[in-house]
Amino acid sequence: MHLPTPEQSAAAEAFPTGAHLVIQAGAGTGKTTTLAMLARTARRQGRAGRYIAFNRAVARHAARTFPAEVSCGTAHSLAYTAVGKRYQARMNAPRRAGWRTGAALGIDEDMAVPIGTRKVTHKALSYTVLRTVTRFCQSADQEIAPHHVPPPRGAESAPLHAQLAALVLPYARKAWADLQHPDHGVVRFEHDHYLKMWALSEPVVPVDFLLLDEAQDTSPVVEQVFTAQRDHAQLVLVGDSAQAIYGWRGARDVMTAFDGRQLTLSRSFRFGPALAAEANRWLTIAGAPIRLTGSPCRETELRRVPVPEAILCRTNVGAMAEVIGQLEAGRRVALAGGGQALGALARAADDLEAGRRTGHPELMLFETWAELREYAESDPAGRDLLPLAELVDAHGTEALLHALDQLSPEDSAEVTVSTAHRAKGREWASVRVADDFTGPDDLDEPGEDGTPLPGPVDLGEARLAYVAVTRARSLLDIGGLSWINSHPAGDPPPAPPSDPGPTGGKPAEQQAEGAEGTAHSGERGAGDR
């Protein structure tokens, strides 16, 4: 048992008062240890509660750490017990292609509706209908509406989106009606469906307190159920606003504006003072409410690391480039989360190159590779696809698929390549940040001396950089983030702080919603919160 830090003691002392709490816990600051302290306090008080984890693995880990009075699970597990189990038979139904579901909903298999210069085929429409239902399920809305229709790649403008929404919504409403039957229907029943049904039933969770973990990335549907309990249960939100990196797909930082007593965990047990200083540079840029102190017992060096244990990338495509580079250097490589997403992209590129339409959800509005390339090169909305286009053109889809076949499992690999999104919650002894973490573009107007001025650092990018740099225990190579050393926002060079202070800085702002999928990385799996 460790001697608690003053901040951990402050959290443990605040909890029995019954006040709603917001605990900002920086990277590696012993969040689980602290929550277990709170849970033991509750046991002494005879109070029972629930810990809501981000995914099942975290819930299982917490169940081993917390006393029995605190039940541990995801929001989905609560919803499953209340609603989902009635739909078990439907959930066990065999998977089938989205277009078959579309056909069963009445979408004509010969359709090709023009939206702008693109044609929406029945496959694209079927996929968009199912995504619309999923986005509705993750929202706090009562009914399916146009804003749930995902903006399609290659037809993002508002008028085109409105046209698409008019086409999609009748089928999406039909799909949602179909899902209400517990024992029959044509749409495959997913975990998000019963979560939404549960939320719409306005459930009361019968507990004395609720601990919401990773509260900086909470879906609106979970936020709605959670905050609705505040009159009868003590609410404790735990997380790190500076690690809010899922805003692009609708998650919200519930901590920042929550009306509760603010507490902080800022002593990191993962790394030493030099890395804490680097982390603080990004926390400052992100306008985060905390600054970290490193462990005096840990020495973490920042320097070039030619052979790291982990390489962290900004995008899936960047990860693919790193995989190829490591394989060429003769190393056994693992890709965190596996190679399926990249394999699907490579196969989609292969289809387009052969002049076939692809079923890949992101690329299904394009008819040829040349069309996609033109979109990536000339349309600002498609710019993030340019690295994919360049990667495919440089290596060929066959070589990419061959590289993915050579991946090793993580436990037998010499190096793990991961996106920063997938690296969240993990740590390695040595880490290199990949080259796809490029800095902001220069401003149009040069500085007084005529030299280009770098643009401001995007807050979302700063949070992702913070997640990436805080994964290392002993060695960190900031690699692709080195541009920050000559950017005005990275100045003055970081120095280890002498006094962490309980709080400081401005609250983090919300990350703007961006495109889904290819450019980003790290999807949550079914059953995750």
Ligand X SMILES: Nc1ncnc2c1ncn2[C@@H]1O[C@H](COP(=O)(O)OP(=O)(O)OP(=O)(O)O)[C@@H](O)[C@H]1O
DSSP annotation string for 326-391: HHHTT--EEETT-SHHHHHHHHHHHHHHTT-----TTTTT--SHHHHHHHHHH-GGGGGGHHHHHH
Contact yes or no for 334/406 (Cβ under 8 A): no
Span near ligand X by CB under 6 A; candidates 20-28, 119-127, 137-145, 482-490:
20-28
Closest approach of ligand X to the CB of residue 27, in Å: 6
Q: How many residues bind ligand X (CB under 6 A)?
A: 14
Closest CB 424 distance from ligand X, rounded Å: 10
Q: Does 4 bind ligand X (CB under 6 A)?
A: yes
Phi-psi group of 332: left, alpha or beta (phi > 0 → left; psi -120 to 50 → alpha; rest → beta) = beta
The answer to the question of residue 8 lying near ligand X (CB under 6 A) is yes
293 contacts ligand X (rule: CB under 6 A): no
Q: By C-beta, is 38 or 120 nearer to ligand X?
A: 38
| 238 vs 407 by CB, closer to ligand X | 238
41 binds ligand X (CB under 6 A): no
Tell me whether residue 28 or residue 102 sits nearer to ligand X (CB atom): 28
CB of 516 to ligand X, least distance (A): 27
Q: Which residue has the tokens 């490589």?
A: 333
User: Per the structure block, which two tokens stand in for 157?
Assistant: 């403008």
| Nearest Cα to Cα of residue 314 among 387, 231, 395 | 387
Residue 342 CA neighbour count, 13 Å, CB half: 34
Q: Which of residues 228-267 bind ligand X (CB under 6 A)?
A: none
What are the phi and psi torsion angles at 119 (to 5°)?
Answer: -115, 125
Coil, helix or strand for 410? helix
Three-class HEC string of 443-486: CCCCCCCCCCCECCCCHHHHHHHHHHHCCEEEEEECHHHHHHHH
* 269 near ligand X (CB under 6 A): yes
Q: How far is the CB of 239 from ligand X (least distance, A)?
A: 9
Question: In the complex, what is the shortest distance from the CB of residue 269 to ligand X, in angstroms, rounded to a whole number?
Answer: 3
CA distance 163 to 124: 14
* Residue 232 in tokens: 């009868």
Q: Closest separation between CB of residue 1 and ligand X, Å?
A: 9
Q: Which is nearer to ligand X, 28 or 500 (CB)?
A: 28
Stretch that binds ligand X, among 24-32, 204-212, 443-451, 518-526 (CB under 6 A): 24-32
**Region binding ligand X by CB under 6 A among candidate stretches 2-10, 300-308, 430-438, 503-511:** 2-10
By beta-carbon proximity to ligand X, the closer residue of 120 and 237 is 237
Query: Considering only CA atoms, which of 312, 356, 310, 353 is closest in space to residue 333?
Result: 310
Query: Residue from 20, 23, 28, 334 that binds ligand X (CB under 6 A)?
Result: 28
In angstroms, the Cα distances linking 524 to 168, 251, 422, 527 are 25, 12, 9, 8
Q: Indicate which single residue of 31, 153, 298, 529 sits in contact with ligand X (rule: CB under 6 A).
A: 31
Q: Which of 21, 22, 27, 372 is the binder for ligand X (CB under 6 A)?
A: 27
Q: How far is the CB of 38 from ligand X (least distance, A)?
A: 12
Q: Provide, rounded to whole angstroms, the least separation between the CB of residue 479 and ligand X.
A: 22
Give the C-alpha separation, 77 to 75, whole Å.
5
DSSP letter assigned to residue 297: T
User: To the nearest whole angstrom, how small is the minimum distance from the Cβ of residue 31 to ligand X?
Assistant: 3
When the beta carbons of 8 and 241 are compared against ligand X, the nearer one is 8
- Interface with ligand X (CB under 6 A): 2-5, 8, 25, 27-33, 269
